Chain A
Amino acid sequence: MPTATIAGAEVQINDEGFLTEYDEWSEDIGTELAKNIGVDMTDRHWELIRWLREDYKEKGETATTRRVQTAGGFPTKEQFQLFPKKPAKKMAYVAGLPKPHGCV
């Protein structure tokens, strides 16, 4: 498994660059990851990312865009505005979580 130094911390990542250890993530790292993919984090971005991490802790899997809308209360349209084009994967990447498995 490759490691990388992000925001001064050494973290484990997979071959696509997603963090693999839940506890190695920090908000500084999240900011850095967002910067890598051209996303400028606002308060609303953070609300979503924090919710996504909480939900992962509880459910053991990354929420799909559907769940981010129904359980998290972030409308689909807004998800596409915050994380353009590929919201599900981008949100997971910034939150240091695996890509969602679900189809919907």
Chain B
Amino acid sequence: MADTGNPIIPNFGDDDETDRKLAIICSKGNLDMAYPALVLGNAALGEGIETHLFFTFWGFDMITKSRMYDLQFSPVGNTAMHLPGRDTKMPQSLSPMPGMTQMATKMMKKQIADLGIPEVPDFLDQIVAAGGHLWACRMSADMNNLDETDLRDDVEAIINASDFIEMTDGAQLLFI
């Protein structure tokens, strides 16, 4: 292409009136299942998209103060499990052995940390700092006998299913 003289200015979409909105339902408390929502939510915020995370059932552990640092990864029942970076499969019969979950968790946390990706609570700090909204599920709170004081301070409210449906009018939904 020839010299245009006029620079091409990237379109960052600032002028487009977008009402794109993303809501992610986090229903799992396993370490490996916590990350997809965090990575995608964070990416959406970085693209200027209004983002809501709704924590329910086991996903509640991600925002429960007493549990959020202790999410675990277990190889039990995961037939895709192989050793990091290799094609060696681990026999399923070994998965339930004592200490296996702790070892797998430790290995996964190290792999994640090596990439400079934060732990779950730090990642949620970043998401909130980027303008993300955190919501907790009423039924999960009642089942676990938990209230606002047991949850991260930046959880905006414990809301029920109808509130959530109402709030996510027009949003793109992801269930994880």
Q: Which residues of A contact B (CB under 8 A)?
A: 1-6, 10, 13, 15-18, 36-38, 64-67, 69-70, 75-77, 80, 84-90, 93, 102-104
Contact = CB atoms under 8 A, between A and B. Distances in A.
A89 B129 CA distance: 18
Contact of A2 (B4, B48, B115, B126): B4
Given A66-B116, A76-B129, A104-B42, A3 B4 contact: yes
B5 interface: yes
Looking at chain B, what size class is its interface with the partner chain? 20 to 34
B80 interface: no
A37 B11 CA distance: 8
B117 interface: yes
B8 A13 contact: yes
A17 B129 contact: no
Contacts of A77: 129-130
A18 B118 contact: no
B3 A5 contact: yes
Given A2-B4, A104-B39, A17 B46 contact: no
Contact of B116 (A10, A70, A76): A70
21 contacts: A2-B2, A2-B8, A4-B7, A10-B3, A13-B8, A17-B7, A17-B10, A36-B7, A76-B126, A85-B13, A85-B14, A85-B47, A86-B46, A87-B46, A88-B46, A103-B43, A103-B117, A104-B39, A104-B42, A104-B115, A104-B116
